[in-house]
Amino acid sequence: MHRCCHGLVKSGVRSQKSEWVARAAILALVAAIAVFLQSPGTSLRAQSANEQTITVDTKAAATDFPHVWEQMFGSGRAILALRDSYRNDLRSVQGITGFHFIRFHGIFDDEVGVYDPGNDGKPRYNFSYVDQIYDGLLANGIQPFVEISFMPKLLAANPVPHPFWYKPYPSPPKDPNQWADLISAFTRHLIDRYGAEETEKWYFEVWNEPNIDFWNGEPKKDTYFAFYKLTANAIRKVDPRLKVGGPATAQAAWVKDFIEYCMRSGAPFDFVSTHIYGNEDPVNVFGTATPIPRKDMVARAVRKVHDEVAASAAPKTPILISEYNATYSTQTEVTDSAFMGPWLANNIAECDGLTSMMSYWAFSDVFEEQGVVRKPFYGGYGLVAERGIPKPAYRAFELLHDLGDKRMANASNDALVTKRRSGTIVLALWNYAEPGERGAQKVFRLDLKGSVAKSYEIQVVDPAHGSAVRAWTAMGEPASPTQAQISDLIKASQIAPPARHAIGDPIRLDPQGLAVITIR
């Protein structure tokens, strides 16, 4: 270390030595104080930005904390539900979340074979694949969240396919009456096959993201609203108790206008639905270029929708976020990585109380919007990679499922404190760091009040635990892993059983780490 001696008193060696001794004493005192302040149990301990004490008053009031993030999942298009791999992943994700509803595009796509206009001009309907798709869901304890999409080609007014690999038709019908007849026949068939009591538990959502390129009617909003009314009326005419809604928009759009249109026109609606992703352009969502972090984008958009509904003529309307994720792009460093654990936990905390249900897009990488999957890890949206390999996001959902159904207040932005019906306290703690960001380790300590608990159990998902993508990279990133490699990747994705610690032991989380702690 360079020391500058300008300004020293020139009084000989003795005076210089005295000054050095005095400075050494001061430095030693400062070091001793620092050691004291960092000692566990020291009440005066100063905490850095990366050290937190989470105070848990076990007797404090708690609010309802429904698990809205794990009631529904999105998935690839309808026909994929006939595959064994799809159903295997479905059972796997249901096993860790207990989810109830699944949503997918394309129940009227030509590959499902529903619509045949007939040479005589009298349409014929074939619900064979529809039955197999929905039967398979129900057999696994999952109910359909019925997305009414897309248009059969021979009924499309603008038969220009969407760029997706499977080429759906985002078109209004060329004959509104034939479309209404198709929807009526479809709805009646569901009632006849599954019964009104069952089908009335489902949701019927009209279309998908009509505000962007999934709807080519012009002008978009006016033609979609008219189409919504036509479709919703056809559904409710079969059974007035069926739940129908929309506008199923991207970017949290049109909700205010949708409610106003329905109230003005008499179109029925039982819920509003919309979509939002963490990397949206704020101009498209809020009309402003002010940057919004990926960490907060979803919650801020949901808050916007919540406030719009609250200020509307139908303020009690349920809000369903029927698609959300940290990104709408395929980014390995996001959806395939441990980043998703802290992102999910933070999003759950921020969205609490704002929505009735949120549908993570998607539960599985049995998914073909960009074509047939070419390798296990490519930034797919699913919780489960190709060949049934769980991703860190899967493990995050698995851990977060253990949270209680009551939430207790705490001052930290990196913690969720919950209570189960049994009274057991369960916390989620996280160390959020963006992909590529060099973060620091965080240290948490628990301060219990009103409890004699002596220990806690902890499980962690981070880049080194519960992450198969690291093992895949170490293998050389094989595009077609062998069966032995697949087995190794599944093993690498597993998280260790809960580890028990004394209540005073610090909890250390590396960047992109998520921990769930149960106080015993």
Catalytic residue numbers, as ranges:
209, 323
Residue from 191, 189, 177 nearest 242 by CA: 191
What single-letter DSSP state applies at residue 209?
-
C-alpha to C-alpha distance for 291 and 160, rounded to whole angstroms: 35
Q: Which residues contact 425 (CB under 8 A, 6 or more apart)?
A: 56, 58, 404, 408, 417, 418, 419, 451, 453, 518, 519
3-state secondary structure of 258: helix
Asked whether the CA dihedral 168, 170, 173, 179 is positive or negative, the reply is: positive
What single-letter DSSP state applies at residue 80?
G
C-alpha to C-alpha distance for 280 and 278, rounded to whole angstroms: 6
Own/partner pairs, 416-420, CB within 8 angstroms, 24+ separation: 416/345, 416/348, 416/349, 417/54, 417/56, 418/62, 418/65, 419/58, 419/62
Q: Which residues contact 192 (CB under 8 A, 6 or more apart)?
A: none
Q: How many CB atoms sit inside 10 A of residue 79's CB?
A: 20
C-alpha to C-alpha distance for 29 and 175, rounded to whole angstroms: 86
The enclosing H or E element of 394 equals helix 392-400
Q: Are 229 and 267 in contact (CB under 8 A)?
A: yes
Residue from 410, 422, 418, 448 nearest 57 by CA: 448
**Virtual torsion, Cα 57, 418, 351, 428, nearest 10 deg:** 100
CB crowding 132-152: b at 16 or more within 10 Å, else e: ebbebbeeeebbbbbbbbbbb
Beta partners for residue 64, in sequence order: 406
Phi, psi of 62 (to 5 degrees): -135, 150
Residue with tokens 């409610």: 259
3-state secondary structure of 312: coil
**End-to-end Cα distance, the chain:** 50
Beta partners for residue 62, in sequence order: 408
C-alpha to C-alpha distance for 512 and 440, rounded to whole angstroms: 10
Q: Which two tokens stand for residue 404?
A: 């209680």
Provide the residue type at 155 as one letter. L
3-state secondary structure of 334: helix
